[in-house]
Amino acid sequence: MIVVMKMGAPKSSVESVVNRIEDLGGQAHIVQGTERTVIGVIGDQRTLNPQTLEALADVEKVVPILHPFKLSSRDFKPERTVISIEDVKIGGDEVVVMAGPCAVESEEQLWETAQGVKKAGAKVLRGGAFKPRTSPYSFQGLGFEGLRLLRKVADELEMLVVTEVISPEMVPLVAEYADILQVGTRNMSNHSLLRVVGQAQRPVLLKRGMMATIEEFLMAAEYILTHDNYQVMLCERGIRTFETFTRNTLDISAIPALHELSHLPVIVDPSHGTGKAFLVEYASRAAIAAGADGLMVEVHPHPEEALSDGAQSLRPEDFASMMGDLKRVAMAVGRVL
Ligand code: PEP
Ligand code: MN
C-alpha cells in the first residue's frame, strides 16, 4: 500500500510515519513528488493496518496497490521517472539512442563504431566486455580490457557507457567503468545479481527475460527498486515465440503496456528483438511510434567479420541513415531524437 502525505507535510510527520511502519515490521520507501511525499509500504499486510497509518498526523490517505509489483507501479508514483546521467535525460522528451558493437573486439573496431554512432546522434556507447553466450565455445568477450576500452573511447567522444554485468561479484568493477549497468535477458531472474545491482546505486538497464511475462519483468525491476535504486530502465528485447524467421518476437505492445503499469522509462532493443539487420529500422520506427524512451542498437564496421551477432548489426553508414528517418518518426509523435 502507499501512504499519501498531505501537501506541504513537514519532514517530522513523514519521519513519524516511516517509524511507525518500521515498528510494525514493514519497510518504507519514500518518494518525494513535486507536490507531495508518498511512502510505499512493503511488508505483511496483516500487521500493517491501513487505519493505524491513516490516523497519523498529516496523512491524507492510505491506498492499496493491487499489482504484485509495488515500487515500480504507477499507483506508487504517477509521474514518469526521468533518469539523468550527466546531461542525458532518459524518460523525457528525447528518445535516447544507445549504440555500439555487440561485443568489444578491439580498440580499432570500437573506435570506428563509436565515432560513427556518435556522429549520427547516439549518446550512449554500448558494447559487451563480459558476454553471456549461449555456447561456451563462442567468444566470451575481452573482459576487463573491454571495459577499459569502452571507458577510454566514450570519454574521448563524450559519450556514456552501458555494458553488461553477468555476476554479482563483478558489479563493483563494472560500476567503476560504466555509467549504466546492463542486466541481460539470461539474468533477468538472477535475484542475487539484481540485489547487488540495486545496492550499487547506479542506473540500470534491465532486459526482459526472453520468456518473461510483463508482470515477471516488473517483479524483477522490483528487486532493484527495493534497494532504493529507482534508476531503472526497462528494456524490451523480444521474447521467444513459435516464430523462427526472426530471432525473437519484438513485443511492441509491451511498450505502452509498461508505460501504463509503471513509471520507469522503456528502452527497445530492435537488434536482439529481430535478429536481422534489415528489420532493425522497421522495428525502431515502430518502437518510437509506440512510445519508447530510447533504443539500443548493435552496430559493427564489418558485420560479416563480427565475433558475435553480425547478422543483426548495422554498418555505421546504415545506422546514420536510419537515424535520419527516425528523427522524423520521433517528431511525428511529439518527441525529439
Ligand atoms: C546484449 O545486449 O549484448 C545482449 C546479450 O542482449 P540480451 O541479454 O538481450 O540477449
Ligand atoms: Mn548481441
For the segment 254-287, what is each residue's pLDDT rounded down to a tens digit?
999 999 999 999 999 999 999 999 999 999 999 9
pLDDT of residue 35: 79
How many angstroms is it from 267 CA to the middle of ligand 1? 13
Q: Which residue is closest in CA terms to ligand 1's atom 5?
A: 184
What percent of the chain has a predicted confidence (pLDDT) above 90?
89
For the CA of 272, the closest atom of ligand 1 is 9
For the CA of 210, the closest atom of ligand 1 is 9
Question: Residue 33: helix, strand or coil by DSSP?
Answer: coil
Mean pLDDT of the chain: 95
Tell me which residues have their CB closer than 6 angstroms to ligand 1.
102, 128, 132, 164, 184-185, 207, 237, 269, 272
Neighbour count for residue 140 (Cβ, 10 Å): 18
CB-based contacts of 147: which residues, under 8 Å, 6+ apart?
Answer: 129, 163, 173, 174, 177, 178
How many angstroms is it from 126 CA to the middle of ligand 2? 10
pLDDT of residue 215: 98
pLDDT of residue 175: 97
For the CA of 186, the closest atom of ligand 1 is 8
Q: What pTM, to 2 d.p., does this model score? A: 0.94
Q: Which amino acid is located at 9 in the chain?
A: A
Q: Which residue is closest in CA terms to ligand 1's atom 3?
A: 102
How many angstroms is it from 256 CA to the middle of ligand 1? 22
Q: What letters, b where the CB count within 10 A reaches 16 and e where it falls short, cover 254-275?
A: bbeebbebbbbbbbbbbbbbbb
How many angstroms is it from 64 CA to the middle of ligand 1? 36
| φ/ψ bin of 7: left (φ > 0), alpha (ψ from -120 to 50), beta (otherwise) | beta
CB of 235 within 8 A of CB of 206? yes
pLDDT of residue 132: 84
Backbone phi and psi for residue 324, each to the nearest 5 degrees, phi listed first: -60, -45
Task: Indicate if the pLDDT at residue 212 is higher than 90.
Answer: yes
Backbone phi and psi for residue 182, each to the nearest 5 degrees, phi listed first: -95, 130
* Vertex 175: Cα angle to 172 and 181 (nearest 5): 120
pLDDT of residue 154: 98
Question: Residue 298: helix, strand or coil by DSSP?
Answer: strand
pLDDT of residue 240: 98
From CA 204, how far away is CA 162, in angstroms rounded?
9
pLDDT of residue 101: 98
Name residue, grid cell 564489418: 302
Mutate-to-test residue for ligand 1 from 182, 189, 204, 308, highest number of ligand atoms within 8 A of CB: 182
> What pLDDT digit, counting tens, does each position of 7-40 carry?
999 999 999 999 999 999 999 999 887 778 999 9
